[in-house]
Amino acid sequence: MNKIFLLFRHEFIQAIKKPGYIILTLAIPVLALITIGVVDLFSTSFEPDVDEFTLIGFVDQVGIFEEYTDQGTLKLIPYQSKDIAVDALVDGEIDEVIIIPSDFITTASVQRYSLERELETPMGIRYAISSFVVWNLLKDEVPPVIIDTVLTPLEMTVTRLEEDGTVADSQINVGNIIIPGIFAFLLSMALMFGNNSLISGLGEEKESRLIEVLTSSVSVSQMLLGKVLALGAAGLFQVLLWLISAPLILNLASSTFGGSLVNIQIPPNFLFFGVIYFILGYLHFAVLAVMVGGIVSTAADGHNLSMLYIMAGYIPLWTFGAFMSFPDSPIWVALSIFPITGPVQTMLMMGVSDIPIWQICASLGVLVLSITVGQYLSIRIFRTFMLMYGKRPRIKEIFQTLKTS
């Protein structure tokens, strides 16, 4: 049987049996289910009891706020003075107090007193008081339908046009970015896990000298190819499990979040490119891990050294906010082509805008080139430094090896 296949099978089975792999694979769907459960629990636990009203005392120093005191589950009760209202609050007769000062018409400012520790006024109370004030102010001025419109938060629908004025095929909205965003996050996690897993394995084999037993049976290139492919397959298997669990989770999430996920759209070709970038991203990080594993003498040293490119790989997630605000900046194009950030950045960009075909080609081309050259160099580096135990080669020695190889 082909030795690469034997190595591949062994490494794949060992990778998917590792506790870290099992935990990460299960953690994603389990965490999603827990989140949905917690949101569901909170939304049912904190649903206002229809029989229970929040009582808000108010002191009207303007003299025009008399009607509309029933605001859903909030009931406003007039008081003659601030002192009387505060006494009622302290005695527990009411839940809080609002003072509408005499200059309210020009300042639009009210004073609120509460016994609760709060950073901000809860949205429900803020809306109820606004509604109470606006209805009293405008009841004789405009029709009720206008008042309703004033009180309803503005909803803005954005349509992106092409330069020729036609409607673009893909439109930016939060729903579109959810799947690519989650995918990019999972990809980053999986890349980090795969990298650490490979470095740990190589470190263990170097420390125990098993590497010598292996290379007395197979060539260095066979060994590394088997390991790298196995890790890629383990990563793909992980994604498949997540994809299988996704429909169930999205269904549950849609019912919990009141159908707000109905608008989620998976960008065209997303699944196809998702799989491609996942495999290539995995292979790229595996090649880098082999280089690091070849240079260092212990797994701990390897983890430290690999932080250099692991951190770089997270740049698309760190800069996600800036990316959403300025999606047309050339920085993101550069990050999508740079092989370490390319897979995650491209996946994010697919959720926000159309990516020109040249950019995808450049991104994939650079990634494949980087993997090919990296694999070639990593074999040289590994072969040269695999017997160096307890000694880290100097930068000069590494470059000399690369030059002579």
Partner 1 sequence: MAAVDVKNISKSYADVLAVDDLSFAVEPGEILGVIGPNGAGKSSAIKIILDFMKPDSGTVKIFNQPMNEAFKDRIGYLPEERGLYKRLTAIDLILYLASLKGMDRKIAEERANVLLERVGMFENRKKKNKEMSKGMGQLIQFVVTVVHDPDLIILDEPFTGLDPIRTASVQAIISDLREQGKSVILSTHQMNKVEELCDKVLMINKGKTVLYGDIPSSRANFRKHSVRIEAEGTWNDIPGIVETKHHNGCIELMLAPEVTSQEILDTLVGQGVIINRFEVTTPSLNEIFLTLAGADYE
Contact set with partner 1 (CB under 8 A): 1, 3, 6-7, 10, 14, 17, 204-205, 207-210, 212-219, 386-387
Closer to partner 1 by CB, 10 or 139: give it. 10
Residue 284 · residue 371 · CB < 8 Å: yes
CA distance 374 to 290: 9
**Region of 85 on the Ramachandran plot (φ > 0 left; ψ -120 to 50 alpha; else beta):** alpha
Q: Whole-number minimum distance, CB 328 to partner 1, in Å?
A: 50
Query: Tokens standing for 82?
Result: 């601030």
Helix H or strand E encompassing 26? helix 19-45
Residue 93 · residue 54 · CB < 8 Å: no
The length of the chain is: 405
Report which DSSP code applies to 80: S
Query: Tokens standing for 31?
Result: 């965490």
Q: Whole-number minimum distance, CB 211 to partner 1, in Å?
A: 9
Q: HSE, CB side, 13 Å, CA atoms: give it for residue 162.
A: 7
Closer to partner 1 by CB, 342 or 393: give it. 393
Angle at 211 between CA 207 and CA 214, to 5 degrees: 155
Closer to partner 1 by CB, 54 or 222: give it. 222
Q: Whole-number minimum distance, CB 218 to partner 1, in Å?
A: 6
Closer to partner 1 by CB, 319 or 384: give it. 384
One-letter amino acid at 277 equals Y
Q: Whole-number minimum distance, CB 200 to partner 1, in Å?
A: 12
Closer to partner 1 by CB, 3 or 112: give it. 3
Closer to partner 1 by CB, 117 or 391: give it. 391
Q: Whole-number minimum distance, CB 389 to partner 1, in Å?
A: 8
CA distance 2 to 222: 10
Among the listed residues 4, 1, 395, 368, the one whose alpha carbon sits nearest the alpha carbon of residue 220: 4
Helix H or strand E encompassing 231? helix 220-256
Query: Tokens standing for 72?
Result: 């859903």
Q: Whole-number minimum distance, CB 368 to partner 1, in Å?
A: 27
CA distance 127 to 109: 14
CA distance 43 to 61: 37
Closer to partner 1 by CB, 10 or 126: give it. 10
Closer to partner 1 by CB, 201 or 235: give it. 201
Q: Whole-number minimum distance, CB 12 to partner 1, in Å?
A: 13
Q: Whole-number minimum distance, CB 404 to partner 1, in Å?
A: 12
